[in-house]
Amino acid sequence: MSRKTVIVANFKLNLLAEEAKNYTLELIEALRSEPSETTVVIAPVYTAIPAVSGALDGAHIALAAQDIAAQVSGAFTGEVSAPFLLEFGCRYVIVGHSERRRLFGENDEIVAKKARAAVDGGLIPIVCVGETLEERERGEAESVVETQLRAVLDHCPEGSEIVTAYEPVWAIGTGKTASVEDAEKMHRFIRTVLGSERGDNTSILYGGSVNADTAPALLSSADIDGALVGGASLKVASFLPIIRAAAK
Ligand code: 13P
């Protein structure tokens, strides 16, 4: 385990199965001529996972789910857990996205249980943390991020592979990106919270209005190990320049 460069396409609630499949085939084709060390990950809607999985057919692109149940199986209507994601070749799962926290009431305890369920189930959680604009203005950005992260670290055994994503809530879908300096500062802080061993082995991604224009400066930073991309990931043409920017 070591720090990898990881670029994740989070489709959120976009792209039907057929669209996601065509996207995947187009991305595979585009990447064929430019092999790189970067781990590229696609996180489609649950219902598109089988189609994307089929299209991947051994390609060097990893599959992720956007969420996971804290439970494994049983009477949990509407949930999808690790074995069901593994069945279709998922390797990663996003947990604690701010949209889940804000719109669906997920608190630190739920996020921590989901991260643990991912680890126990053989998936790598992409743990999202980030402060709101009000919290930043009150000078609480670091304490908020630390609390969110510690909840997960306390639940996941030392040595379990996780990826962290710093996504300031005010930068998501707003066209406002954190400055490289602010992002770097938070990434360095996150690395100290992770502790020396975990910090050396955990990729810390930045997310929030990453696009072809903002990616090069962000991804050239030694503290920023990759990106979690929403809007700009929905078209291969706008996602590719971000993957290329990561090839540092
Ligand atoms: P945008 O790239 O659309 O700002 O979304 C970021 C995000 O939430 C990725 O998970």
Alpha-carbon radius of gyration of the chain: 17
By C-alpha distance, which of 2, 14, 34 is closest to 229? 14
pLDDT band at 2 (very low <50, low <70, confident <90, very high): confident
Q: How far is CA 234 from CA 7, 9, 19, 20, in A?
A: 13, 7, 10, 9
Residue 219, SS3? helix
Probe residue for ligand 1, chosen from 209, 213, 214, 238 as the CB with the greatest number of ligand atoms within 8 Å: 209
In angstroms, how far is CA 226 from the centroid of its own chain? Answer: 9
- Predicted confidence at residue 197, as pLDDT, reads 87
Buried-exposed string 159-170: b where 16+ CB fall within 10 A, e elsewhere: ebbbbbbbbbbb
Q: Is 197 a catalytic residue?
A: no
CB 229 within 8 A of CB 239: yes
Output the pLDDT for position 131: 97
Give the model's pLDDT for residue 34: 86
Does ligand 1 lie within 6 Å of residue 125's CB atom? no
pLDDT in tens, 45-74: 999 999 999 999 989 999 999 999 999 999
Residue 94 confidence (pLDDT) above 70: yes
Least confident of 106-115, 137-146, 174-183: 174-183
Torsion sign over Cα 130, 66, 213, 220: positive
Per-residue model confidence (pLDDT) at position 196: 86
Among candidate residues 97, 106, 131, 155, the one labeled active-site is 97
Report the C-alpha gap between 6 and 149 in whole angstroms.
Answer: 19
Fold of 6-247: TIM Barrel (3.20.20)
Q: Which helix (H) or strand (E) holds 29?
A: helix 17-32
CA of 74 to the centre of ligand 1 (A): 32
**Cβ of 67 less than 6 Å from ligand 1:** no
What's the mean pLDDT in 30-48? 94
Could you tell me the residue ranges of all domains in the chain?
A: 6-247
CA 226 to ligand 1 centroid distance, Å: 13
In one letter, which amino acid is 222?
A
Q: Which of 67, 172, 206, 242 to mutate to test the pocket of ligand 1 (most atoms within 8 A of CB)?
A: 172
For 142-201, write each residue's pLDDT tens digit. Answer: 999 999 999 999 999 989 999 999 999 999 999 888 899 999 999 999 999 999 889 999
CB 148 within 8 A of CB 95: no
User: What would the pLDDT profile of 194-241 be if each residue is shown by its tens digit?
Assistant: 998 899 999 999 999 999 999 999 999 999 999 999 999 999 999 999
Strand 39-43 with 204-207, pairing: unpaired
The pLDDT, as a whole number, for residue 36 is 84
Residue 1's pLDDT is 65
pLDDT score at 177 = 87
**pLDDT of amino acid 145:** 98
End-to-end CA distance of the chain: 20
Q: Please confirm, yes or no, whether 158 is among the known catalytic residues.
A: no
CB atoms within 10 A of CB 62: 18
Rounded Cα gap, residues 79 and 40, in angstroms? 26
